Amino acid sequence: MSTLVDLREEVTDLVQRLVRVDTTNPPGNETAAAELLREYLEASGIDNCELIARTPERANLVARIPGGDGPSLLFLGHTDVVLADPAEWSVPPFSGELRDGMVWGRGAIDMKSQVAANAVAFASLAREGFKPSGDLIFAATADEENGTGFGLEWLCEAHPDVVRCDFSINEGGGDRVELEDGRAIYQATVAEKMTAPFRILVKGRSGHASMPRIADNALVNATRLIDRIADYRPEPQLGPEVEGFMQAVFGEVPPAAEVVERAAPLSPVAAVVLDALLGPTFSPTMISASQKRNVIPALCAVEVDCRLMPGQHPEDVEPTIRAVLGEDVDYELEWVEGAHGGTRSPLDTPLWRALEEWVAETEPGAIAAPLACVGFTDSHWLREAFGTVAYGFFPTTGELPPEVAAGLVHSADERIPVSDLEAGVSWLRHAAHAILS
Ligand SMILES: [Zn+2]
């Protein structure tokens, strides 16, 4: 029987080795990580490991401890990482160095840490002869960061039987946040917003820039629309995640308009997230107009990063956007790239209860609080394909404060405390016992 100390060393070593495999996406090359993980799992006696790939160099690894006909649980994680520029780092980004009790390197947080913890929880259960009542599944998937169809999206479509599951644990939550009143909350994401970017093509009439009155400057017209978007505050509305959060933290659910002012004194960080979950958000982020300084542009394109509430669709908000933009400026609105994500899982589930139990046992007095994810993760593929109850939860200990950790994701000097890895393994083992015993 492995002790928790053994598992801590095991998971630390595995994260270090995973970080050293450069899976920068593009091009990904996730097969090298999948092979490392297969070797690790096979050494623990798991022979049910399968590399499944659309192209040979971008393999997904799926392993299984078969169970009875009870509900199944999937430990999900992606093995690809985003680009790292060594010039910005204090250690080489693919060194996996252990320094000051932390593993350093690209993917240390997002998300080779969780992939390694998934593997160690899975392997340790197998070594102990764990007999699940339903399948326990491990999946290390490719291409989450770029989403070009080699990872979970493709598996759900081409090999649904290997990833179909009733419950899933993925990235996207787990931050331990200390409230100003001394209590700690562990945030878990149970839903995600839909991303639905749009472009506004603002019209004008070109002319020589030396005589402004001769033309109608599309760029100047666009600034009026940008101001209106920036000033717009949608009517706040409560979804089940914010309701669940307020109930968990305050013991009651205030009206939507009071959520941010209630939360801000306890946690400014949480208040910013809650604010983004009370309605759709519209952030103008890109603009392009004239190609020459001396030509007044006839056209100006403004791109807006737009995130809708789970369950909302572009056609639901387009009339509001048009009303905000007004009628005095000539423009066209087009949705670009389509709409993605926007799924949710219910809160009244055995997996949520397992999460509450783990938090209560790990830190008496701490609170498990649900939230929706403002971005999105691979969880939405599972929710869409199989109706899976998918939560984002990889608990942190707070050794690295959440506001610091958040700034390291996709950035320089990404690192994770060993204590977080240990907490992650503990949570995953707890969840497997709770759902599958
Ligand atoms: Zn990620």
Q: Please give the distance, rounded to the nearest whole angstrom, from the Cα atom of residue 388 to the centre of ligand 1.
A: 19
Q: Which of 110, 144, 166, 420 is catalytic?
A: 144
DSSP symbols for 98-117: EETTEEESTTTTTTHHHHHH
Label residue 16 by pLDDT band (50, 70, 90).
Answer: very high
Q: Please give the distance, rounded to the nearest whole angstrom, from the Cα atom of residue 201 to the centre of ligand 1.
A: 33
DSSP type of residue 209:
T
Q: Please give the distance, rounded to the nearest whole angstrom, from the Cα atom of residue 296 to the centre of ligand 1.
A: 43
Q: Please give the distance, rounded to the nearest whole angstrom, from the Cα atom of residue 188 to the centre of ligand 1.
A: 15
pLDDT score, position 402: 86
pLDDT score, position 155: 98
Label residue 403 by pLDDT band (50, 70, 90).
Answer: confident
Poorest-confidence range of 3-7, 122-126, 214-218, 346-350? 3-7
Q: Please give the distance, rounded to the nearest whole angstrom, from the Cα atom of residue 161 to the centre of ligand 1.
A: 24
Label residue 282 by pLDDT band (50, 70, 90).
Answer: very high
Q: Please give the distance, rounded to the nearest whole angstrom, from the Cα atom of residue 20 to the centre of ligand 1.
A: 17
pLDDT score, position 119: 98
Q: Please give the distance, rounded to the nearest whole angstrom, from the Cα atom of residue 405 to the centre of ligand 1.
A: 13
Sign of the alpha-carbon torsion through 406, 194, 255, 247: negative
Mean pLDDT, rounded, for 355-374: 97
Buried b (16+ CB within 10 A) or exposed e, 156-172: beeeeebbbbbbbbbbb
Label residue 44 by pLDDT band (50, 70, 90).
Answer: very high
Mean pLDDT, rounded, for 275-283: 96
Mean pLDDT, rounded, for 169-193: 96
Report the SS3 class of residue 167.
strand
> What is the distance between the alpha carbons of residues 48 and 382, in angstroms, rounded to a whole number?
21
Q: Please give the distance, rounded to the nearest whole angstrom, from the Cα atom of residue 145 to the centre of ligand 1.
A: 7
In the residue annotation, 128 being an active-site residue is answered as no
The domain segmentation of the chain, as residue ranges, is 4-172+377-436, 192-341
Q: Please give the distance, rounded to the nearest whole angstrom, from the Cα atom of residue 221 to the centre of ligand 1.
A: 39
Q: Please give the distance, rounded to the nearest whole angstrom, from the Cα atom of residue 118 to the centre of ligand 1.
A: 14
Label residue 5 by pLDDT band (50, 70, 90).
Answer: confident
Mean pLDDT, rounded, for 295-300: 98
What global pTM score does this model have? Answer: 0.92
Angle between helices 218-231 and 314-325 (to 10 degrees): 120
pLDDT score, position 87: 97
In the residue annotation, 80 being an active-site residue is answered as yes
pLDDT at 52 over 60: yes
- pLDDT tens per residue, range 70-112: 999 999 999 999 999 999 999 999 999 999 999 999 999 999 9
Q: 192-341: what CATH class?
A: alpha beta
Two tokens, residue 395: 């608990």
In the chain, the percentage of residues whose pLDDT exceeds 90 is: 95
| CB-CB neighbours of 147 under 10 Å | 15
Q: Please give the distance, rounded to the nearest whole angstrom, from the Cα atom of residue 381 to the centre of ligand 1.
A: 14
CA distances from 429 to 44, 177, 243, 364, 424 (A): 16, 23, 29, 19, 9
DSSP type of residue 50:
E
- pLDDT tens per residue, range 298-343: 999 999 999 999 989 999 999 999 999 999 999 999 999 888 899 9
Q: Which of 10, 80, 143, 420 is catalytic?
A: 80
Mean pLDDT, rounded, for 131-135: 98
CA distances from 10 to 206, 275, 415 (A): 65, 40, 17
Nearest CA among 202, 200, 188, 156 for reference residue 298: 202
> What is the distance between the alpha carbons of residues 25 and 145, in angstroms, rounded to a whole number?
7
Residue in the block written with tokens 């291409």:
143
Mean pLDDT of the chain: 96
pLDDT at 58 over 60: yes
> What is the distance between the alpha carbons of residues 430 and 73, in angstroms, rounded to a whole number?
12
pLDDT score, position 311: 87
pLDDT at 1 over 70: no
Q: Please give the distance, rounded to the nearest whole angstrom, from the Cα atom of residue 62 to the centre of ligand 1.
A: 18
pLDDT at 2 over 90: no
pLDDT score, position 191: 97
CATH number of this structure's domain 4-172+377-436: 3.40.630.10
